[in-house]
Structure 1
Amino acid sequence: MRKFTHFFYDYFIQLNASENSATYLNMLALLVLLIVIIVITDIVARKILLQAFSSFAAKSKTKFDDILINHKVPRNFAHIVPLIIALKCIPLVFIDFPGFESAVELLLQLYCVLLIIWIIRSVLRTLESFFKTIPRLKDKPIDSYIQVLMLLLWLVGIAIIFVMLTSINFTKFFTTLGAASAILLLIFKDTIMGFVASIQVAVNDTVRIGDWITMEKFGADGDVIEINLNTLQVQNFDMTITNIPTYALITESFKNWRGMSNSGGRRIKRALIIKAKSVHYLTDDKINELKKIQLLTDYLTQRQGDISSYNTNNNIDKSVLINGRNMTNLGVFRKYIQSYIEGHSAINKDMTIMTRQLAPTSQGLPLEIYAFSSDKRWQNYEYIMSDIFDHSLAAIPYFDLEIYEFSNYSPELEQN
């Protein structure tokens, strides 16, 4: 063994170097030789492992091994071989320098801890990516759980490194750490709250990746693209990204549009404001005129007959229009809009279709259209709704109705 460890020492002595210089030069030569061996070993081990994994992945049907390669798991494992060689050879290189040997061994041990952490990290990231390829798991907050494991891994790793550097007893260290748990809870408050929120979100199926949510407090209105330990990322419809604290999902109110997406239609709920003074009873002449509207012909004929029979049987004096039963232009218009929506090709006929009159306001009488478009895509939904209201607004004059329009005009101001 001495012949090998002092091979260069004897060579330098033959070159007339002093014993002290020959000892240092021998150590440096052995160190350089070890570094060369480690580099070559690392390259060879990496190529062999990568080749083996690639060949196996090519034959395998699962995507897991391909994801392992993408996250450099084989490459990280390859570093173990040169590390073992280094740990075995360091005592030989620094045989004449015990102080250097202890320091270098400590550095290698610290590197060993970091390498193990890095390998586990790459495996966890592989699992994260693999779980996202499974249909029933891809919309779950997998990132949060992986991040918790990574956080615990780093905490244990840092604790081990601290114990190695300070030579403190491992049990004593964790006992002291337990006493400082209140401080740790304060430091990691958001992380703990985020983890709890992630569990509740997953268990209660509150939010999934891909859901459209609206959270006015944070200015979020778009699709959830990521749920991790501390934040939930929402890509708004203007393509901006909003980051929301994960724990806000259980402490703040928000709207999830998943129910609409999973249903048979998207709700249309909007009102026309009718000017109150334009509402009046219909005369027989006006009714006969409105019968020309095909959607109302049968309705008006039947309705007019029913009303006429009632008024005749009850000896109603129709010289005054208000007496007895009558039809109003607003009521007939409401019936027309109802029939028009029921026949619209873009409206889901299996869901609620209703045209209703809301409570009067200071502006007028709201006539609300309540229905569901069969196409839920935003652009098409807006087109369908606009088409319905374009038609409704254009139809209003046929019924001698008026839409309320706010105006600052005042005759008194004009005279002044």
Structure 2
Amino acid sequence: MDFIHHWIVNLGVDADIAIYFSTTLTIILVALLCIVANFFTKKIVVRIISHMVSKSKFKWDDVLLKRKVFHKLSHIVPAIIIYYFAPTFPRYQHFIENGANIYLIIVGLIIMSTALDAFNDIYQTYEISKIRPIKGVIQIVKIVMGILGIILIISILINKSPFILLSGLGALSAVLMLVFKDSILGLVAGVQLSANDMVRVGDWITMPKHGADGDVIEISLHTVKVQNFDKTITTIPSYSLISDSFINWRGMQTAGGRRIKRSIFIDVNSISFCDNEMINRFRKIQFLSDYIDERLAEIEKYNETHHIDRSTPVNGRALTNIGVFRAYITNYLNHHPGIHKGMTLMVRQLEPTEKGLPVELYCFTNTTDWGEYETIQGDIFDHLFAIAPEFDLRIFQNPSGHDFKSINNEMKRLTTLEH
């Protein structure tokens, strides 16, 4: 500035007026220098770095480039230039230096935040990110950096040491606890979820209280996002997964089999002992031929051993159509290609109800795919509903309009015949 001032005075300009001219020219020159430096950094240095990154075999530097970390670094250069030119304006040096420092802190926070986002992107390319997500931890780090940045900016503005402000935070702890309640709860919940491996990205969870039934797509500091099967998104507070119950279907997916647990209701009035005609008919069924022979031999041996009088079916042991039907279902499931043979498989009777006798199938498919599971389950019950009459069994169903209409037509027919 002194050089410019002398140069202007030598041109014949008044000394007092020359001060204003020299100050204005100096400001313009510094501004031009900042613009040129920023342009040089962005257009040349960053372009060279981008070219080197594109040629590199590593993937992490591509993420940094995509997040524009290098571009944001260019904003530091003008602030450094302004800071070092501050002594040129002695009267305003303190304000210029403080402004430059505050600007550097803000830019530094933005760069670190972007770098953390880039680190999270890189981390998500590894399988461990589904087991141990770090987005919540990164958000905590951002909050801490933001608080420290604010403390530094305030300390610069009031010209006090930041340690004085930090020492006063104890008195504000209650306020901070209130303001950051969700963040603290989220942090604690995130640590528990991660430490206990309760939920991962990609897990299928069910939480009726929050209307969630789908796959976890994101675990953050405050929330867990679930994409439901109808493609809607449900956002659940992280601490709700700790305080409330939910179902995680990961065990089913890992085991490789999905459970079928469904009953067929049999009309108890259709249950009866098997006569010779029924037994001969059942012998022709592929899944029952060996079973019939083995059971008949066992029953006959038992009755002979205990001298049972079989002149009445009440005495001794005998085959029933419901028992043969259960044996058929068991053999049918054992030979079904869609049923997992290494998991529990049984056909059992439950307690009779006003709807009949429940015959429950309890088994597992050999796939966890939803569509394939429903197809296998549907095919099995389609077959069983169709095959039940072959065992002289009736499937229970509440009377429908068609049933009442048939009864009414039959009554009319009988009335007509009587007359």
| TM-score of the pair, normalised by structure 2 | 0.90
Identify which of 163, 169, 180 aligns with 1:188.
180
- Cα distance in structure 2, aligned partners of 1:319 and 1:349: 42
The answer on whether the counterparts of 1:46 and 1:79 sit within 8 Å (CA) in structure 2 is no
Is the deviation greater in 29-38 or in 116-125? 29-38
Aligned CA distance change for structure 1 residues 257 and 8 (closer, same or farther; 3 Å): farther
Alignment correspondent of 2:365: 373
- Cα distance in structure 2, aligned partners of 1:54 and 1:139: 33
Alignment correspondent of 2:226: 234
The answer on whether the counterparts of 1:49 and 1:74 sit within 8 Å (CA) in structure 2 is no
Q: Deviations over 1:72-122 (max 9, x none)?
A: 221222222222111112332x35xx24x4433332221111011112112
Identify which of 121, 143, 163 aligns with 1:129.
121
Number of equivalences: 406
Residues 1:305 and 2:297 are matched in the alignment: yes
The answer on whether the counterparts of 1:148 and 1:195 sit within 8 Å (CA) in structure 2 is yes
Give the secondary structure class of the aligned counterpart of 2:287: helix
Gaps of 5+ in 2: 412-419
In the TM superposition, 1:67-78 aligns within 5 A as: 67-78=63-74
- Return the offset for 1:408: 7.3
- Cα distance in structure 1, aligned partners of 2:390 and 2:350: 22
Identify which of 258, 262, 266 aligns with 1:266.
258
Q: RMSD of the alignment, in Å?
A: 2.4
Amino acid at match of 2:23: M
Aligned CA distance change for structure 1 residues 294 and 164 (closer, same or farther; 3 Å): same
Alignment correspondent of 1:197: 189
In the TM superposition, 1:38-117 aligns within 5 A as: 38-92=34-88, 94-95=89-90, 98-99=91-92, 101-117=93-109
In the TM superposition, 1:355-374 aligns within 5 A as: 355-374=347-366
Query: What percentage of residue pairs aligned between the two structures are identical?
Result: 40
- Return the offset for 1:342: 0.6
- Return the offset for 1:26: 3.6
Q: Deviations over 1:163-220 (max 9, x none)?
A: 2223344233222221110121121111111111111111211111111111111111
Alignment correspondent of 1:294: 286
- Cα distance in structure 1, aligned partners of 2:168 and 2:190: 30
Give the secondary structure class of the aligned counterpart of 1:294: coil
Q: Deviations over 1:315-335 (max 9, x none)?
A: 322232121101111111001
Residues 1:3 and 2:3 are matched in the alignment: yes
In the TM superposition, 1:105-254 aligns within 5 A as: 105-254=97-246
- Return the offset for 1:253: 0.7
- Cα distance in structure 2, aligned partners of 1:229 and 1:48: 39
- Cα distance in structure 1, aligned partners of 2:314 and 2:206: 50
Q: Deviations over 1:270-314 (max 9, x none)?
A: 111112222121112211112121111111122123223332443
The answer on whether the counterparts of 2:5 and 2:18 sit within 8 Å (CA) in structure 1 is no
Alignment correspondent of 1:328: 320
Give the secondary structure class of the aligned counterpart of 2:34: helix
Amino acid at match of 2:213: D
Aligned CA distance change for structure 1 residues 367 and 375 (closer, same or farther; 3 Å): same
- Cα distance in structure 1, aligned partners of 2:298 and 2:371: 44
- Cα distance in structure 2, aligned partners of 1:179 and 1:264: 55
- Cα distance in structure 1, aligned partners of 2:19 and 2:270: 110
Give the secondary structure class of the aligned counterpart of 1:137: helix
Is the deviation greater in 397-406 or in 28-37? 28-37
Residues 1:391 and 2:383 are matched in the alignment: yes
- Cα distance in structure 2, aligned partners of 1:75 and 1:318: 96
| TM-score of the pair, normalised by structure 1 | 0.91
- Cα distance in structure 2, aligned partners of 1:145 and 1:6: 58
Give the secondary structure class of the aligned counterpart of 2:129: coil
- Cα distance in structure 2, aligned partners of 1:5 and 1:231: 62
Residues 1:337 and 2:333 are matched in the alignment: no
The answer on whether the counterparts of 1:268 and 1:371 sit within 8 Å (CA) in structure 2 is yes
- Cα distance in structure 1, aligned partners of 2:173 and 2:69: 34
Give the secondary structure class of the aligned counterpart of 1:273: strand
- Cα distance in structure 2, aligned partners of 1:240 and 1:7: 72
- Cα distance in structure 2, aligned partners of 1:5 and 1:374: 89
- Return the offset for 1:2: 0.7
In the TM superposition, 1:23-38 aligns within 5 A as: 23-38=19-34
The answer on whether the counterparts of 1:282 and 1:327 sit within 8 Å (CA) in structure 2 is yes
Gaps of 5+ in 1: none
Amino acid at match of 2:86: I
The answer on whether the counterparts of 1:53 and 1:65 sit within 8 Å (CA) in structure 2 is no
- Cα distance in structure 1, aligned partners of 2:269 and 2:6: 112
Amino acid at match of 1:292: K
The answer on whether the counterparts of 1:225 and 1:235 sit within 8 Å (CA) in structure 2 is yes
Amino acid at match of 1:183: V
